[in-house]
Structures are given as C-alpha cells and as structure tokens.
C-alpha cells in the first residue's frame, strides 16, 4: 500500500506542483497541500477523527466536507470548545458510509501508475 500511495502522490505532484507536495517540512509545503503517503505502512500512526491534538487551543481532528476544504478552512478551526456546536449543525456526518466502502488496488491500477 505504501508504494502505491507514494506513486499516487508523485503523480499528483507532477500534475499540479503548485498545489501539492510530499515535503513534510512546514517551510517546504507553505501554500500547498501536504500529501503524506508515509501513514500507509504497518506500524505508522495517524490521529483518529475527533481526537484532540497536542497543540495550543486543543484543536480537534475533524473530517470535513469538500466544500469546507474549498472554502479555505484552517486546521485549527475546531477545538474542544466548539466541536459540539459543529456536530449539532451538521446535516450529515462527513464520513457517513465510509465503513461500507470496499475497494481494492487492482493490477490495472498498478500498471497505469507505472
């Protein structure tokens, strides 16, 4: 999975280098979306949705909609003081049905990515 994810990231960066970066350094990714393929391997960790981050203001990791992403929402927009308000305003959970999706990486997908 990690190799496939890396190849997808490399293709996205190649197609839109001004929009995406695989560079983990905050200075190296300024103004770009950081694509982290390294979370796709055994033993890698990632923060779960609705977890509190260990940062000032106690921001909460929150799944967002495409519309929110396009509006320029910031990573610290939701925190322990406003997360319940957000949840009450949602018409539906952004990850609704996520656990029902079944996908596989096919040989054709691998071939097309090189």
Stated pTM of the model: 0.59
Angle at 111 between CA 35 and CA 38, to 5 degrees: 25
Residues 11-21 have pLDDT tens digits of: 999 999 999 99
Kindly give, in sequence order, each residue whose CB lies less than 8 Å from that of residue 92, ignoring residues fewer than 6 positions away.
none
Task: Please check whether residue 4 is in contact with residue 41, taking contact to mean a CB–CB distance below 8 angstroms.
Answer: no
Distance CA 84, CA 82 (A): 6
Mean pLDDT of 36-54: 85
Residue 57 has pLDDT above 90, yes or no: yes
Mean pLDDT of 65-89: 90
Distance CA 39, CA 34 (A): 12
Predicted confidence at residue 77, as pLDDT, reads 93
Predicted confidence at residue 99, as pLDDT, reads 87
């Amino acid at each position: 999975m990690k190799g496939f994810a890396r190849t997808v990231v490399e293709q996205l960066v190649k197609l839109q280098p001004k929009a995406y970066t695989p560079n983990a350094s905050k200075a190296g990714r300024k103004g770009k979306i950081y694509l982290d393929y390294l979370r796709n391997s055994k033993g890698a960790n990632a923060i779960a949705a609705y977890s509190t981050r260990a940062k000032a203001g106690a921001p909460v990791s929150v799944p967002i909609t495409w519309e929110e992403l396009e509006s320029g929402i910031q990573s610290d927009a939701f925190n322990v003081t406003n997360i319940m308000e957000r949840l009450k305003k949602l018409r539906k959970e952004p990850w609704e049905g996520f656990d029902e999706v079944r996908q596989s990486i096919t040989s054709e997908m691998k071939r097309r990515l090189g």
